């Protein structure tokens, strides 16, 4: 038989109107409404037309497709009416994975969001006076407790009597607000080794120019000395800025002044020192074996005037940018009209307040990011072994091997934790194909591919999701 021409193939497709008269479709319309079903029917027909035009469908394929038409429309409808944003299983071992939503929230944070969101709240209302209040008091109170208590505890090392904090949309916004408030029209001194780009197009020189401050670059990529800062200060200098190198390291012939040297220069010349910490841990990472990550407390102790950090990185809370520092400087930021434009909503305050309260109560394990960091390699290995026990298919080969989990989210790239990985290979499939099939599971499972194996790190998988992984692997082995 001669192959049908494209136009013959197109002619086999019904019109939308014909399609909507089909009995099975009519019952869909009764359930979901005419508009939604007609949209779905149009989408299905358009997709088939596209496939005909690409030469992917022949006459027999179209007959087959037409017999399942009602099902295809229903499937399309279901896709159109479900959420696009959905849960995935993070088996990458990257704890703060920006593409997968960074820090998962604590249950208490979700509970407090629910309470606050479903009714009215005292967001900006002082119930004792009946007058207007400020939205930032709710979290500043807890930041004070966390940051100032530490100073009291440290006795002689106390360098700042008081610290206040405000919250904006994200750390990029915090940096913008700080530069605009403290340095608009003036110069900000930054080392060339710290003119960084963080994923998602946050670049220090760009934020600087948007803020209206003038970037004064000093030193070289690998070496900057305190005398470089000193030599660049003149009457138009407003700020010394240090930026944490979140996503890269410079090694070899390098030099960078210590925070203490910068603090003493800043004091001597009366120019504030700001540090963009990026991750900003409130939790001592040394307790999980990670050194060299700057903590919020360390920087405040050293005498930095203003620090900026993210809410959803090492802090383990909602997306936010936090500015902590000397009260008179933070007060200036609060009265900048940009603060109003960058402010966060009640949901963020609710999540932040609950997260900070967990720190105050030293309930670190209720904060998922911290809990995942504290899992031992042995615990993770035992879970990986248990998954392999549930997967019994000849084509799949599973092995539990040593590996490393990554903190991610702007902790030093060398910040890794020992873990046990589930290494999977499948006869007749490449590792990339296998990874794609895992992503097509429901919920999608996101894994790493290394050395032609799929690697699953259960550190970032919640224990109740282990079963889904076993089920998905069994299905893969059978397909
Ligand atoms: C992550 C990061 C930022 C950006 O923070 P967001 O909260 O993502 O806006 C800025 N500076 C540094 C050093 C960072 O690590």
Does residue 315 lie within any of the structural domains? Answer: yes
Give the closest residue (by CA) to ligand 1 atom 13: 278
For the chain, how many structural domains are there in total? 3
Is residue 88 in some structural domain? no
* Assigned domain for 87 exists: no
Regarding whether 295 and 227 lie in a shared domain, the answer is yes
Asked whether residue 303 falls in the same domain as residue 440, the answer is no
Asked whether residue 469 falls in the same domain as residue 418, the answer is yes
How far is the CA of 470 from the CAs of 375, 384, 392, 465, in angstroms? 20, 10, 10, 9
Closest residue by Cα to residue 166 from 319, 299, 320: 320
Residue with tokens 């004091």: 267
Residue at which a domain ends, from 315, 334, 366: 366
* Range of the structural domain that residue 24 is part of: 6-80
Residue nearest to atom 6 of ligand 1 (CA): 171
Same domain, residue pair 136 and 248: yes
Instruction: Please report whether residue 453 resides in a domain.
Output: yes
Residues 463 and 416 in one domain: yes
Q: State which ligand 1 atom lies nearest to the alpha carbon of 312.
A: 7
* 256 and 379, same domain (yes or no): no
Quick check: helix, strand or coil at residue 164? Answer: strand
Do the Cβ atoms of 238 and 188 come closer than 8 Å?
Answer: yes
pLDDT in tens, 336-392: 999 999 999 999 999 999 999 999 999 999 999 999 999 999 999 999 999 999 998
Residues of the chain with pLDDT below 70 are 1-3, 149-161, 200, 412-413
Do 385 and 358 belong to one domain? no
- The pLDDT of residue 294: 77
| Domain of residue 386, CATH code | 3.90.1150.180
362 and 376 part of one domain: no
* Domain shared by 351 and 227, yes or no: yes
13, two tokens: 């497709």
Residue 80 pLDDT: 86
- pLDDT score for 412: 67
Q: Which of 96, 177, 200, 276 to mutate to test the pocket of ligand 1 (most atoms within 8 A of CB)?
A: 276
393 within a domain of the structure (yes/no): yes
Residues 318 and 379 in one domain: no
Whether residues 437 and 358 fall in one domain: no
Are 69 and 172 found together in one domain?
no
Residue nearest atom 1 in ligand 1 by C-alpha distance = 278
Q: How far is the CA of 353 from the centre of ligand 1 (A)?
A: 21
Q: What is the pLDDT of residue 293?
A: 79
Residue 411's Cβ-side half-sphere holds a number of Cα atoms within 13 Å equal to: 33
CB of 169 closer than 6 angstroms to any ligand 1 atom: no
Residue with tokens 């605009």: 180
Tell me, using a 6 A CB cutoff, whether residue 410 lines ligand 1.
Answer: yes
Give the pLDDT confidence score for residue 259 in this predicted structure: 94
Q: What is the pLDDT of residue 42?
A: 93
The answer to the question of residue 90 being in a domain is no
Whether 206 and 175 have beta carbons less than 8 Å apart is answered as: no
Q: Is the CB of 244 under 6 A from ligand 1?
A: yes
User: Whole-angstrom Cα distance, residue 29 to residue 448?
Assistant: 43
């Amino acid at each position: 038989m001669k192959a049908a021409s494209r136009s013959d193939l197109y002619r086999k497709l019904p019109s939308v109107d014909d399609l909507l008269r089909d009995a099975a479709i009519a019952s869909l319309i009764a359930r979901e409404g005419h508009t939604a079903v007609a949209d779905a029917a149009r989408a299905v027909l358009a997709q088939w037309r596209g496939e005909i035009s690409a030469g992917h469908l022949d006459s027999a394929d179209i007959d087959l497709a037409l017999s399942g038409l009602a099902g295809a429309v229903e499937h399309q409808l279901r896709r159109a009416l479900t959420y696009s944003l959905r849960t995935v299983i993070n088996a990458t071992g990257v704890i703060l994975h920006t593409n997968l939503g960074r820090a998962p929230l604590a249950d208490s944070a979700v509970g407090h969001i629910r309470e606050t969101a479903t009714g009215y709240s005292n967001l900006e209302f002082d119930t004792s006076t009946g007058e207007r209040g400020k939205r930032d008091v709710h979290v500043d109170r807890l930041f004070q407790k966390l940051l100032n208590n530490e100073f009291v505890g440290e006795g002689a090392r106390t360098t700042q009597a008081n610290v206040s904090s405000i919250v904006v949309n994200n750390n990029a916004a915090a940096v913008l607000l700080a530069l605009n408030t403290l340095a608009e029209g003036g110069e900000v001194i930054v080392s060339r080794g710290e003119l960084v780009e963080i994923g998602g197009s946050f670049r220090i020189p760009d934020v600087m120019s948007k803020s209206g401050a003038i970037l004064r670059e000093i030193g070289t990529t690998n070496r900057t000395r305190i005398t470089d800062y000193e030599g660049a200060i003149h009457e138009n200098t407003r700020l010394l800025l240090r930026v944490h190198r979140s996503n890269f390291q410079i090694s070899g012939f390098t030099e960078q002044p210590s925070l203490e040297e910068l603090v003493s220069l800043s004091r001597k010349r009366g120019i504030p020192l700001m540090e963009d910490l990026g991750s900003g841990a409130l939790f001592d990472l040394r307790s999980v074996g990670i050194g060299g990550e700057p903590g919020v407390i360390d920087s405040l102790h050293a005498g930095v005037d203003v620090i900026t950090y993210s809410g959803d990185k090492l802090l383990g809370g909602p997306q936010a940018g936090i500015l902590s520092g000397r009260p008179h400087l933070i007060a200036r930021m609060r009265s900048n009209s940009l603060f109003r434009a960058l402010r966060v909503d009640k949901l963020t305050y609710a999540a932040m307040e609950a997260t900070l309260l967990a720190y105050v109560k030293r309930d670190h394990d209720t904060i998922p990011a911290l809990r995942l960091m504290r899992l031992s390699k042995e615990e993770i290995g035992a879970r990986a072994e248990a998954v392999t026990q549930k997967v019994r298919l000849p084509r799949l080969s599973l092995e539990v091997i040593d590996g490393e989990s990554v903190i991610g989210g702007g902790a030093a790239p060398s910040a890794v934790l020992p873990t046990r990985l589930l290494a999977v290979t499948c006869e007749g499939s490449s590792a990339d194909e296998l990874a794609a099939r895992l992503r097509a599971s429901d919920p999608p499972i996101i894994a790493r591919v290394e050395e032609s194996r799929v690697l699953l790190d259960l550190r970032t998988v919640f224990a109740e999701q282990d079963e889904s992984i076993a089920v998905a692997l069994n299905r893969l082995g059978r397909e």
